[in-house]
Amino acid sequence: MDLGGGGLQRNAHLRAMADRLHEDPAARVLPFWRGRPLVAGGAGRTRLVTMDAAQAFLTDHGGALVYLGSGGEGPLFAQDVSGWKPDSTTAADAGPGRSGADEPVRHIPGLPEDARFADFRGLIAQLTRLEAEITATAKGILEWHQTHGFCASCGAATRAEEGGWQRDCPKCGRRHFPRTDPVVIMLVTRGNSVLVGRSPGWPEGFYSLLAGFMEPGETVAGAVRREVAEESGVKIGAVRMLSSQPWPFPASLMIGCAATALSAEITLDPRELEDAVWLSREEMLDVFAGTHHDIAAPRPGAIAYHLLKMWLADRLD
């Protein structure tokens, strides 16, 4: 599932008038509780649940409000409602390989009985492309508001402007904008094999492609070669970009690359990887089928899943 390119009309030219758009009777709000969007439905088809902008639940518990644009049915906003305190609490982000438990919602008037706040990692493959883009956009920018409430220049509290897409410092005048951290994720191949690894603390059986943050002054290819060498000791030759995916955990842009290995010996950096192995195409087919004896099937929706699927189908070109 591509988390971008779903058809969200961002309408950046309207952000300065977000307050008026919020008063539009057609305005809808997608609530987020501790990073989880409000959804309804079962495993077959889970859908986002939006609320009337004037609904009491939002005014009573709402925090940061962001104008997302339009999904085709009037102004669309996202709002943090983490101020709501349910009877039980769970972690907002279940982490790689985990879908997390959904948080039941005490009945809110006007909502479906099965409405709940759900972990986004477990939803990606169930949402439509538009819903996935809306959720990824909202989750990323609401996370930014939670962690950037003070000016990095002078330390004063900042205020949200431009429909939530900017924070201004009233003391020194500095303007702050949402950040996106570029991350390279590598389909490293050597002949008929692909390199996969697991970080310390990941769930049992969960492996993925190697990945790492780009550093200032690096090219994409340079970051690929450095990260693979640092984590696994494998030397990399040719590198090419394949695709990209926004990944709001919390604010990354995953840059998918194909990389040709010049060496096969693995020397782990234990701070980065607990294990790394070469898998043949035949072994990876078993992984996808859920029949591999050590490695669990990858989760649909993540870019690693799609890169591996393309490699198995010999469709990287």
Interval 5-23 mean pLDDT: 94
SS (HEC) of 248-306: CCCCEEEEEEEEEECCCCCCCCCCCCCEEEEEEHHHHHHHHHCCCCCCCCCCCCCHHHH
| C-alpha–C-alpha distance, residues 76 and 21, integer Å | 9
Write down the pLDDT at residue 2.
62
Q: Both tokens of residue 262?
A: 């010049």
Note whether 67 and 14 are within 8 A (CB).
yes
Residue 100 has pLDDT above 60, yes or no: no
| C-alpha–C-alpha distance, residues 85 and 100, integer Å | 19
| C-alpha–C-alpha distance, residues 37 and 132, integer Å | 11
Sorting pLDDT into bands at 50, 70 and 90, what band is 5? Answer: confident
Interval 30-46 mean pLDDT: 88
Residue 107 has pLDDT above 80, yes or no: no
Which bin fits 150, alpha (ψ -120 to 50), beta or left (φ > 0)? beta
Q: What is the mean pLDDT of the chain?
A: 91
199: which residues sit within 8 A by CB, 6+ positions away?
Answer: 96, 272, 273, 274
Sorting pLDDT into bands at 50, 70 and 90, what band is 45? Answer: confident
Write down the pLDDT at residue 87.
63
Sorting pLDDT into bands at 50, 70 and 90, what band is 95? Answer: low
Domains belonging to the chain, first-starting first, are 12-147 (3.90.79), 148-179 (no CATH), 181-312 (3.90.79.10)
* Angle, in degrees to the nearest 10, between helices 303-312 and 281-289: 130
Write down the pLDDT at residue 96.
67
Closest by CA to 77, choosing from 67, 91, 88, 62, is 67
Sorting pLDDT into bands at 50, 70 and 90, what band is 110? Answer: confident
Write down the pLDDT at residue 316.
86
270 CB burial (10 A radius; 0-12, 13-18, 19+): exposed
Sorting pLDDT into bands at 50, 70 and 90, what band is 177? Answer: very high
Closest by CA to 203, choosing from 95, 101, 91, is 95
| C-alpha–C-alpha distance, residues 43 and 122, integer Å | 10
Predicted model pTM: 0.89
Query: What is the full DSSP assignment across 84-124?
Result: ---SS---S---TT-----EE----TTS-TT-EE--GGGTT
